A = this chain, B = another copy of it.
Amino acid sequence: MIETRAIASLETPALLLDPEKLKANVQRMHRRIAALDGVLRPHGKTAKSIDVMNLVSEALGDAGLARSLQSQGITVSTLAEAEYYAAHGYRDIVYAVGIAPNKLARVAALLRQGVKLTVLLDSLAQVQFLMAAGEREQISFGFLVEIDSDGHRAGIAADDPALLLIAEHASESQWVEFRGVLTHAGGSYDCRSVDAIKAMAEQERNAMLHAVAALQKAGFTCEMVSLGSTPTAQYAQSLEGMTEIRAGVYPFHDLVMAGLGVCQVEDIAISVLTSVIGHHSGQLIIDAGWMALSRDRGTAQQAVDQGYGVVCDEQGHVMADVIVSATNQEHGVVRHRHGHDLSAEEYPAGRLLRVLPNHACATAAMFSAYQVIQDHERVQAWPRINGW
């Protein structure tokens, strides 16, 4: 029997997850990708929970969206995630953060377990330390080269000669295996309209097409051509030539995604349950500070700045003009956007509220468990991992 408890009996702050919203978000995204004949490789970095990943798989099955996550592979942001998901049956994993030498012993251990773990790099120097480690560990490291499709962060340009040098260098060694190219259109988070996101998705794909063509001309085949971000996955018009698309936050969504037009505020599947613990100048003090909400201010540059989160009542009904305007370690300050008083009569000490996060990955990272809502009033705890 599964143990549950009443939401009202939880200690605050606590991280709530609404599985019905999650399922709807997952099915919406996977239907879009299926319509483009694409394959989604979900990112495990937001959930960091095998139960959540299994729920995503289940939602796909319910919607007749065919293949299980286990068979189509996942993305991770840490080796802790790779080890955790691998231990639970996920055997095709892309570790989508540039590789460092001190991580190769753990990568090798996963490879020896038969996990198809693919690492990421963008320099000859990295190929070289991979080759040295391969020889030392007597195992071959499969890798992707990161392509910069938007000048946002990492990777090399699609027409950078280093791309061919890396592929050539790798082809001369049995200790490394060039598998293809990967890009992340992180710049899509700064888009100001849906049309801009659509254009970014096409820019992302074009960079990949260019890289693949250059490699092909030099005689190299890409087994994997991987691109993606939740905004570009949501609005991509074509995935032709791509073997997969990655997206992370879409099962949960958050205020940043809502601000981008990628979801509605009502679609956000996680929130932080908190108690009113004080009143000050028409504002409320709650027991969710940055330790619970994170310091993420992802909506600060968007059209609507949501502070540290939008407040809902205990049942989850959104109070759009009530936001968390400031945070200390264990204190949040809640105010009405237009300065209206929030009274102690309406919000007495001890009243429960929920806060929708700016950034689901950052807020979830502050917790070691999800409280998963069952029948609106009860919750079941699902553990999640953190760390590296």
Q: Convert A358-388 into 0s and 1s, putting 1 for each residue whose CB lies closer than 8 angstroms to a CB of B.
A: 0001100111100000000000000000111
A387-B362 in contact (CB<8A): no
Interface of A is mostly: loop
For residue A12, CB closer than 8 A to chain B, the reply is yes
Q: Convert A85-106 into 0s and 1s, putting 1 for each residue whose CB lies closer than 8 angstroms to a CB of B.
A: 0000000000001111111001
Q: Convert A218-247 into 0s and 1s, putting 1 for each residue whose CB lies closer than 8 angstroms to a CB of B.
A: 000000000000000000000000000000
Output the nearest chain B residue to A274 by Cβ-Cβ distance: B100
For residue A57, CB closer than 8 A to chain B, the reply is no
For residue A186, CB closer than 8 A to chain B, the reply is yes
For residue A316, CB closer than 8 A to chain B, the reply is no
B330-A78 in contact (CB<8A): yes
A178 to B250, CA, bound (A): 50
A153-B328 in contact (CB<8A): yes
B280-A361 in contact (CB<8A): no
- Per the 8 Å Cβ criterion, residues 261-301 of A in contact with B are 275-281, 285, 287, 290-291, 294-297
Q: How many residues of A are counted as interface, with CB atoms below 8 angstroms from the partner's CB atoms?
A: 64
Of the listed stretches A29-37, A110-118, A343-351, name the one at the interface; the rest are far from the partner chain. A343-351
A291-B365 in contact (CB<8A): yes
For residue A72, CB closer than 8 A to chain B, the reply is no
B295-A102 in contact (CB<8A): no
Output the nearest chain B residue to A126 by Cβ-Cβ distance: B349
A388 to B277, CA, bound (A): 16
